[in-house]
Chain A
Amino acid sequence: MHALKKSLLISLWFMFLTFPIMVIRVNTIEHTVIWRWNNLILIGIGSFVLSLIWPWALRRREASRAKDSTAQAQVHILDRLAANKNILRTVIVALLALFLAIPLLGTTYQTNILISFLLYVILGLGLNIIVGVAGLLFLGHAAFYAIGAYSYALLSQYFGLGFWLALPLGGLIAALAGLALAFPVLRLRGDYLAIVTLGFGEIVRLVLENWSSLTGGPSGVSNIPRPGLMGMQLDVAQANIYVYYIVLVMAMITIVAVARVKDSRIGRALQALREDEIACQAMGIDRVGVKLMAFSLGTAWAGFAGVIFAAKTTFINPASFTFFESAIILSIVVLGGMGSNLGVILGAAFLVLLPEYMRAFSEYRMILFATAMVLMMVFRPQGLIPARGRIYHVDDPDAHSSNGGQA
């Protein structure tokens, strides 16, 4: 009864709040006012129902969390799926086959969407090293994406460098730029680091925008050559498919490389840096070296993605590399699950493919998108697939008999 009263009050409040924009429509030409009362009723009913469901959903979450901490028997369905090796392998093989076949079956439009999805996978995985594994809040990833893209664009414009030479160079230049950024911010952490990297991202964009003699300013660089396939001339659709396969291979290389780095001596040092800097140094890890490594390892992937992006669109300008881009990449990492590679891939799918395929509801697209983000953060803040520590197995003949010492 109390809940009903509360919901009623909430719905009244919302009806009052939205009254000016949803109900009154003033026509300034004919000087008439239209009262849309049925909008008011819809909002009233909608907010009433939602405010009834909301506390129930929150309670359910609390209940499931309590169950988790006591028994740990009830594992989330996504966790369980990710934990099962066989299911995972089957899914990976099926997905790979699907991804290989898509450009041959689907339209150019489909291929384009998937190219941008895979680019975001590469970007997200790169950022995941910095944010998820090393725990450095980093808001300027788009800058390195831009540096990669402009490296290829300018190298090919001024020196006639081909795509295959520019790809490693773009990654290298982005990694060096990452190092250049890392040096002044070595002492910073958390919020302060976020602000400096945010500033760096803007600086890069503004330089690209204003250094007109070199970069072409706001009008960007056009006529960037598409990658050539052994001297063959490809038409636009074919070149697109070719770029798709390049980015697919690159994404797979990224996935393997990032997983390997994460699961190595260096990766453990990065995680130690995230957990506790002082203890990390006391364990003999060079804090400065590891931090520099985190930055350059993360930004190099953005450079690769940038080169491919420039080759795909054949035209780039600074407007493609705004702060919004960095925010999207960070959202991919946070939404997917910090430090979890599978999570980042799912996050990229969620944030890139969903808005694309929801174009049918184009007017409500951003609202749906925002709602989904909010719901996600309330009900699964650890991300779609949270990072899980690796389980180690050691062959120890008397592990079971000795039963763990005096602990």
Chain B
Amino acid sequence: MHAVLDVTAVSMNFGGLRALSEVDLQVHSGEIVALIGPNGAGKTTFFNCITSIYTPTEGQVWFTPQKGERTRINGMKPNLVTTLGMARTFQNIRLFKNMSVLENVMIARHCRTKAGIIGALFRPAAVPREEQEIVEQSYALLKYIGLHTYMNEQASSLPYGAQRRLEIARALATEPSLLLLDEPAAGMNPQETEALKHLVLKIRDEMDMAILLIEHDMSMVMSLAERIYVMEYGCLIAQGTPAEVSSDTRVIKAYLGEDAHA
């Protein structure tokens, strides 16, 4: 088991504010890892750092795709990070709202296809074939995630839970080796959360993918994750198996306050 993602001592400063302070984190292949912490602990900032939307002030982010070299990705362009094999979803859903459900997934095939301007204008035989493949692969993914009956609906017209699942389908379409899920269960009811849990497990097992997720739903985190990292005020305060983390005094303190007896 090699480390798909290896983050060493990453820090992020916004002016004088230290949003992340020397965070170390590893995700091994085929593993489900959770990152938890109170609001404002820096979890999403951490995601933005490893997907290169932000460039970390200090520290290194190493990424090893399934069939590839170990690469340093801090400071790389975000689209190249995705091309390498890291895909993410967003905490506040960022679908392409005015496009159809199928098109949302088709766009994500962009980095795995290559038809250019000349191809678009003159349509040599390879281009329509590639288009057809994109449609079919995207449809297959929609079906996998259970949204294929909505394929021609506008993305913004989907119910909330379905929009979150569509974001996952879109991320899967980039053929990632590591999937980052930012609060995938936020705003879902218990049934939807349960279904999502099975979906995440299914993706890990069938697509052989490492998954790193941020989540507030503790029952989901505890039953899903093999390892958990806990953050508070930009620092890692604990890590380990769900059992270890849930009995850690500092974690209990961070979540329940100073004098609580949980």
Quick check: B147 and A407 within 8 Å, CB to CB? Answer: yes
Kindly specify which of A79-87, A341-349, A398-406 makes contact with the partner chain.
A398-406
Q: Are A275 and B79 in contact (CB under 8 A)?
A: no
Flag if A268 contacts B107 (CB, 8 Å). yes
Interface stretch, picked from A16-24, A43-51, A204-212, A284-292, is A284-292
Q: Which of A118-126, A137-145, A160-168, A387-395 contacts B (4 or more CB under 8 A)?
A: A387-395
Q: Pick from B97, B108, B150: contact of A283, CB below 8 A.
A: B108
Residue A281 is within 8 A (CB to CB) of chain B in the complex:
yes
Q: Mark A149-169, 1 if CB is under 8 A from B, else 0.
A: 000000000000000000000
The answer on a CB contact under 8 Å between B103 and A389 is yes
B97 with A394: CB separation less than 8 A: no
A265 at the interface (CB under 8 A from B): yes
Minimum distance in angstroms from B147 CB to a CB of chain A: 6
Chain B: which residue is nearest A288 at the CB level? B77
Contacts of B117 in A (CB 8 A): 261, 266, 293, 297
Q: Is B227 an interface residue (CB 8 A)?
A: no
The B interface, classified by DSSP as helix, strand, loop or mixed, is: helix
Whether A405 touches B146, Cβ cut-off 8 Å, given contacts A271-B96, A275-B97, A279-B96, is yes
Instruction: Give bound CA distance, A126 to B170, whole Å.
Output: 30
A394 to B134, CA, bound (A): 11
Pairwise interchain contact B152-A392, C-beta atoms closer than 8 A: yes
Establish whether residues B120 and A264, one from each chain, have CB atoms under 8 Å apart when the complex forms: yes
**Of A257, A271, A281, A391, the contact of B152 (CB 8 Å cutoff):** A391
**Distance in angstroms between the alpha carbons of A282 and B53 in the assembled complex:** 8
Which residues of B pack against A, CB within 8 Å? 51, 53, 77-79, 82-83, 87-88, 90, 94-100, 102-103, 106-108, 110-113, 115-117, 119-121, 123, 127, 130-131, 134-136, 139, 143, 145-152, 154, 159, 162, 165, 170, 174, 195
The answer to whether B113 touches A265 (Cβ under 8 A) is: yes
User: For the complex, is A278 an interface residue (Cβ under 8 Å from B)?
Assistant: yes
Task: Check B108–A284 contact: CB distance below 8 A.
Answer: yes
Distance in angstroms between the alpha carbons of A267 and B106 in the assembled complex: 11
Tell me if A363 is interfacial: C-beta within 8 Å of chain B.
no
26 contacts between A and B (CB under 8 A): A264-B115, A264-B119, A264-B120, A264-B131, A265-B120, A266-B115, A266-B116, A268-B103, A269-B110, A275-B98, A278-B90, A279-B96, A280-B107, A281-B77, A281-B82, A282-B90, A283-B174, A284-B111, A285-B110, A287-B79, A392-B103, A392-B152, A394-B151, A396-B143, A404-B149, A407-B149
Choose among A269, A271, A272, A403 the residue with the greatest number of B CB atoms under 10 Å from its CB. Answer: A272
Distance in Å: Cβ of B189 to nearest Cβ of chain A: 13
CB distance from A226 to the nearest CB of B (A): 28
Identify the A interface with B (CB < 8 A).
257, 260-261, 264-269, 271-272, 275-276, 278-287, 293, 297, 389-392, 394, 396, 399, 403-407
Closest 3 CB pairs of A and B: A405-B146, A284-B111, A404-B149
Contact among B82, B136, B149, B195 for A403, CB-based, below 8 A: B149
Complex Cα distance, B108 from A315, in Å, reads 49
Residues of A within 8 A of B170 (CB): 283
| Measured CA separation A406–B189 after assembly (Å) | 14
Are A281 and B107 interface neighbours, CB within 8 A? Answer: no
Q: Which residues of the other chain, A, contact B110 by a CB distance below 8 angstroms?
A: 265, 268-269, 272, 283-285
Given A268-B106, A268-B110, A271-B96, 8 more contacts at CB 8 Å?
A265-B134, A266-B120, A282-B94, A403-B149, A405-B145, A405-B146, A407-B159, A407-B162
